[in-house]
Structure 1
């Protein structure tokens, strides 16, 4: 993530919608992948200091839940991120707008990283068969007025589904502790499920498939049976030597998705640290340099957390096996971005 600045020089952040120093409106322009400072004209059009003209995403106008803009002449009413939505929650229910806004914020962060990496990001309106979609759903555990008894976070044929309850911090923390997941975050969910999407888009049926199988395992192993066995037996107690997480042991496709998510964690955090002068610039074509810089940064992150009396920010170890998997993902992403 960049170190964004307002026109007045004030440091601003990715989710900001107004500069507290000069009062200008702040929006993110996905075309230039940067924050822009704007003034609203009488007709509602947003104008930058250089004369560029934009209009707000409909989800900002109606719910103040989005800070992305579109060019003033764009016929779309929703921004590049929001138009990927297939289903959103019932927004008239108290609290749903707030929880949905959290999901949208995490989704926009994912979108930013995917665009920075140069990965293809297309919706169903652009690619009807392989486009990316999102569904944010409730189930009867959190809303007795809906039919679905259980909504699981997951991916199927380009559709990423998240349970709205994941935006409730207390619920998510309870599940995190029950399952022993170190990184159960909204952004983590989006990154993991995007891994499934890009496996289907970039690996399945391509020249990469055999190499990925050799490193991650056979994806044709019965998926439902593998997950049933994983949860029944409590997972592999020796996962640290070969996998990035216990859940990654459940099935080769979950190993890919967990490692993919971790790659995005690493890339984005290092990018942010570099932007703020806290990490060196490394060769983007070298996984070894990426890993070395990451290890050095996480030592500092953990030391800072301990100084604050908090658990380690990064309780993981990158073994040779995990690094080999990260190397494959790095190469797949690099080829897709060319």
Structure 2
């Protein structure tokens, strides 16, 4: 994530809608991937740096839930992020609104990363697989719901996120029960988008053979694989070939976990660079260079967390096998954007 500033010079952050220093409205321009400082001019918000006029997304007006902007001439009520929503939860109560806003913030962070990498949200060669999101609740957060359990997942472009994942206590309890090192809302989005891009970038492409060499046969029965994963104790040496315990469940889960870690790495390196924590002359073109930088930064991050009495920020090991998998993700993306 970049380091953003208001026109007054104060540092502002990606989700801000107002500068606390000067009081100007703020909004994110997804076309230029920049925060804009805005003054009110009737129904418009105007950026005096270039005179351009914008409207806030309707979800900002109705719920204070989105700071993304629509340019003058765009007549749709919702921004490019909120237009991807197929289903949102019942927003009649403040608790649900608060949980939904957490999901929306993580989703916009994900989309920022994808756009920064030059990835189209719905590529022209999508074969009818269109990206969309459904934020659903079940009886765990709403006893009036008939469904007792709705799984977070992906199917044919539709990413479903259970509203319960926005409940910090629930999410931490599940993380402990499943023995996961890392479980965050943003992590869920990054994982599920990996499934989406597999379908449209890899499944029927030149990368399919490389995928099978590194990850395995994607046609392996998915249900049986997951049943076997949850029924058996994890292999003691899973870390030699996988970035996470869950990655060994199925080749497609391995890809999605690896894709998520690629986004973790490049986004955190961008943040560290823009905040002056590391120096980079240019964006590295190969994965070895990226991982060399990441090793230094992640060790430092873990040391800082330990100094604060916290768990490691990145408790994962990147082995040669994992490095090769990350490199394939990198090559797929670079092939599209170079």
Indicate the TM-score class for this superposition, using the shorter chain for normalisation. over 0.9
Quick check: 1:41–1:47 contact (8 Å CA) kept in 2?
yes
Match of 1:67 in 2: 67
| Cα distance in structure 2, aligned partners of 1:128 and 1:86 | 19
Quick check: 1:90–1:96 contact (8 Å CA) kept in 2?
yes
Match of 1:46 in 2: 45
Match of 1:256 in 2: 255
Deviations 1:216-271 (A, max 9, x none): 11111110000000001133221111100000000000000000000000000000
User: Do the aligned partners of residues 263 and 127 (structure 1) sit closer, same or farther apart at CA in structure 2, a change above 3 Å counting?
Assistant: closer
- Offset at residue 148 of structure 1 (A): 1.9
| Cα distance in structure 1, aligned partners of 2:244 and 2:131 | 26
Quick check: 2:127–2:200 contact (8 Å CA) kept in 1?
no
| Cα distance in structure 2, aligned partners of 1:314 and 1:149 | 33
| Cα distance in structure 1, aligned partners of 2:222 and 2:303 | 39
Match of 1:168 in 2: 167
Match of 1:87 in 2: 87
| Cα distance in structure 2, aligned partners of 1:69 and 1:157 | 28
Q: Does 1:271 align with 2:270?
A: yes
Deviates more, 1:293-302 or 1:279-288: 279-288
Residue ranges of structure 1 left out of the alignment (5+ in a row): none
Q: Does 1:154 align with 2:153?
A: yes
Quick check: 1:54–1:69 contact (8 Å CA) kept in 2?
yes
Q: How does 1:216-227 map to 2 (within 5 A)?
A: 216-227=215-226
Q: Does 1:133 align with 2:113?
A: no
| Cα distance in structure 2, aligned partners of 1:213 and 1:123 | 23
- Offset at residue 94 of structure 1 (A): 3.8
| Cα distance in structure 2, aligned partners of 1:137 and 1:143 | 10
Match of 1:190 in 2: 189
- Offset at residue 314 of structure 1 (A): 1.2
Deviations 1:276-322 (A, max 9, x none): 11123154311111000000001110111111111111111110000
| Cα distance in structure 2, aligned partners of 1:235 and 1:28 | 43
Quick check: 1:136–1:163 contact (8 Å CA) kept in 2?
yes
Q: How does 1:205-216 map to 2 (within 5 A)?
A: 205-216=204-215
Quick check: 2:129–2:156 contact (8 Å CA) kept in 1?
yes
Match of 2:326 in 1: 326
TM-score normalised according to structure 2 size: 0.97
| Cα distance in structure 1, aligned partners of 2:245 and 2:126 | 35
User: Do the aligned partners of residues 290 and 128 (structure 1) sit closer, same or farther apart at CA in structure 2, a change above 3 Å counting?
Assistant: closer
Deviations 1:188-210 (A, max 9, x none): 00000000000001001111111
Quick check: 1:283–1:289 contact (8 Å CA) kept in 2?
no
Quick check: 2:87–2:133 contact (8 Å CA) kept in 1?
yes
SS in 2 for 1:95: helix
TM-score normalised according to structure 1 size: 0.97
Quick check: 1:202–1:336 contact (8 Å CA) kept in 2?
no
Match of 1:31 in 2: 31
Deviations 1:93-132 (A, max 9, x none): 34000000000000000000000001111399x9792210
